[in-house]
């Protein structure tokens, strides 16, 4: 078992189901799988990507982000997600450190790509706009590189707050195990729809907002714009989203926004930063929805601890666990 076979099985079982809601557009599992298979063939034939080769992924949130991930993995490559807010010099360092000679990006960053090409002459570029040429269906199933659970799948770079960013090397097994753990804790089922508004390059959203739904047959409600907060609320209601992973500041904004009483969310998850007790109280005072806190780090694939959705709950218990882990290291 690997991430590619897990996604393929999910996509085959849910071929006509909407995998991603993106504004007014809907992407079926069949379409995402076709794009990923097409990209895998392109990477192998035109870019010379072979098993274990590193491929950078420098994109804003978009449905093609998901297709690109599984396309790289199906080609046997290792995905290197890169913060889309970084400058070319910072991206150049990550690509060089990871040993990536292929970068998947969008045409809008053409000037930045030119700067990268000047620094890294061997670097090849694939623009996501080329996905428009991909077939709508999988006509020929490309040979998928045989990956085991111990094989490397991702290299996720830290923020570099105490020096140069360092790459956390995560295997297929690391992610599969973390995804299954999160699925059990969240009691996720195929009817669930995950709201994705945080950057997908981040390990938290990569696991909970991409890998979990895509390998479980759930749907993703991919938010185009976070401002104002009422637009996100409208999208959640329109698409009947059920699970919302976000950062603490967003839950404060949600608690202070005009939200109809029939909002369909059944669970909210706060991650990527500590959840202040005052925000938890504000949220709980307005919504009958569990707001649970998670703690993790990229090196752990990334979720380490999470409140039980049925309680008992104790304010700051995850924060206490965070400090305990820090003291232990």
Count: domains in the chain: 2
* Cα(303)–Cα(208) distance, integer angstroms: 9
Following CA atoms 128, 164, 75, 136 in sequence, which dihedral angle do they give, to the nearest 10 degrees? -20
Please state, for a pLDDT cut of 70, what percent of the chain lies above it.
92
Whether residue 59 is found in the same domain as residue 179: no
Query: Please, which pLDDT band fits residue 144 given cuts at 50, 70 and 90?
Result: low
Residue 81 falls within a domain, yes or no? yes
Q: What is the DSSP string of 168-206?
A: EEEEHHHHHHHHHHHHHHHT--TT-EEEE-S-TTSHHHI
- pLDDT tens track for 104-128: 999 999 999 999 999 999 999 999 9
* Cα(173)–Cα(152) distance, integer angstroms: 9
> Of 124, 144, 170, which residue constitutes the final position of a domain?
170
In the sheet that 100-105 helps form, which strands lie side by side, from edge to edge? 124-127, 100-105, 54-57, 78-81, 152-157, 167-171
3-class secondary structure, 16:
coil
Whether residue 129 is found in the same domain as residue 276: no
> Of 142, 170, 198, which residue constitutes the final position of a domain?
170
Across the range 88-100, mean pLDDT stands at 97
Task: Provide the domain limits for residue 198.
Answer: 175-328
pLDDT of the residue at 326: 46
Whether residue 185 is found in the same domain as residue 309: yes
∠ Cα 232 31 227 (to 5°): 15
pLDDT of the residue at 321: 46
Between 295 and 329, whose confidence is greater? 295
Whether residue 152 is found in the same domain as residue 294: no
Return the H-helix or E-strand segment holding 152. strand 152-157
Whether residue 204 is found in the same domain as residue 319: yes
Residue 24 falls within a domain, yes or no? no
Cis-peptide into 302, omega within 30 deg? yes
Query: Please, which pLDDT band fits residue 320 given cuts at 50, 70 and 90?
Result: very low
Q: Are 239 and 193 in contact (CB under 8 A)?
A: yes
Across the range 86-115, mean pLDDT stands at 97
Residue 192 falls within a domain, yes or no? yes
pLDDT of the residue at 14: 97
Whether residue 113 is found in the same domain as residue 165: yes
Contacts of 122 (CB under 8 A, 6+ apart): 101
Whether residue 184 is found in the same domain as residue 308: yes
- pLDDT tens track for 260-290: 878 999 999 998 788 888 888 888 888 889 9
Residue 160 falls within a domain, yes or no? yes
Whether residue 166 is found in the same domain as residue 281: no
pLDDT of the residue at 279: 87
Q: Are 54 and 155 in contact (CB under 8 A)?
A: yes
Whether residue 165 is found in the same domain as residue 230: no
- pLDDT tens track for 8-31: 999 999 999 999 999 999 999 999
Whether residue 235 is found in the same domain as residue 294: yes
pLDDT reading at 327 higher than 50: no
Residue 246 falls within a domain, yes or no? yes
pLDDT of the residue at 170: 97
Residue 296 falls within a domain, yes or no? yes
Residue 268 falls within a domain, yes or no? yes
Between 162 and 329, whose confidence is greater? 162
Measured CA distances, 185 to 179, 228, 281 (Å)? 10, 31, 22
> Of 150, 170, 190, which residue constitutes the final position of a domain?
170
**CA-based radius of gyration for the chain:** 19
Please state, for a pLDDT cut of 90, what percent of the chain lies above it.
70
Residue 69 falls within a domain, yes or no? yes
Comparing 142-156, 206-220, 310-324, the range with the smallest average pLDDT is: 310-324
Contacts of 136 (CB under 8 A, 6+ apart): 30, 31, 34
Any idea what the CATH number is for the domain that residue 98 is in? Answer: 3.40.50.980
pLDDT of the residue at 228: 74
Whether residue 38 is found in the same domain as residue 162: yes
Query: Please, which pLDDT band fits residue 323 given cuts at 50, 70 and 90?
Result: very low
pLDDT of the residue at 227: 77
What is the DSSP-derived secondary structure letter of residue 133? G
Whether residue 272 is found in the same domain as residue 163: no
pLDDT of the residue at 286: 87
């Amino acid at each position: 078992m690997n991430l590619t076979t897990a996604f393929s099985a999910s996509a085959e079982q849910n071929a006509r189901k909407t995998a991603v809601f993106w504004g007014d557009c809907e992407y079926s599992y069949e379409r995402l799988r076709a794009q990923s298979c097409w990209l895998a063939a392109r990477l192998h034939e035109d870019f010379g990507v072979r098993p274990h080769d590193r491929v950078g992924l420098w994109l804003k949130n978009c449905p093609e982000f998901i297709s690109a991930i599984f396309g790289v993995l199906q080609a046997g490559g290792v995905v290197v997600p890169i913060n889309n807010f970084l400058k070319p010099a910072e991206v150049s360092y990550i690509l060089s450190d990871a040993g990536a000679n292929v970068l998947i990006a969008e045409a809008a960053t053409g000037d930045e790509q030119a700067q990268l090409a000047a620094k890294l002459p061997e670097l090849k570029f694939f623009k996501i706009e080329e996905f428009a040429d991909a077939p709508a269906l999988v006509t020929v199933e490309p040979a998928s590189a045989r990956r085991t659970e111990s094989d490397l799948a991702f290299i996720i770079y830290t923020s570099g707050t105490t020096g140069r960013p360092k790459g956390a090397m995560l295997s297929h097994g690391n992610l599969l195990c973390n995804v299954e753990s999160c699925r059990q804790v969240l009691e996720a089922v195929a009817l669930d729809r995950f709201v994705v508004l945080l950057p997908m390059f981040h390990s938290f959203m990569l696991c909970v907002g991409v890998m979990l739904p895509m390998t479980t047959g759930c749907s993703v409600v991919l938010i185009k714009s976070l401002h104002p907060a009422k637009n996100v609320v409208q999208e959640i209601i329109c698409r009947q989203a059920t699970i919302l992973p976000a950062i603490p500041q967003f839950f404060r904004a949600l608690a202070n926004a005009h939200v109809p009483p029939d909002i369909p969310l059944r669970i909210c998850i706060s991650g990527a930063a500590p959840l202040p007790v005052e925000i938890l109280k504000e949220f709980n005072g307005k919504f009958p929805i569990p707001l649970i806190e998670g703690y993790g780090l990229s090196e752990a694939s990334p979720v380490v601890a999470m409140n039980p959705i049925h309680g008992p709950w104790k304010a700051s218990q995850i924060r206490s666990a965070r400090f305990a882990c820090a003291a232990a290291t």
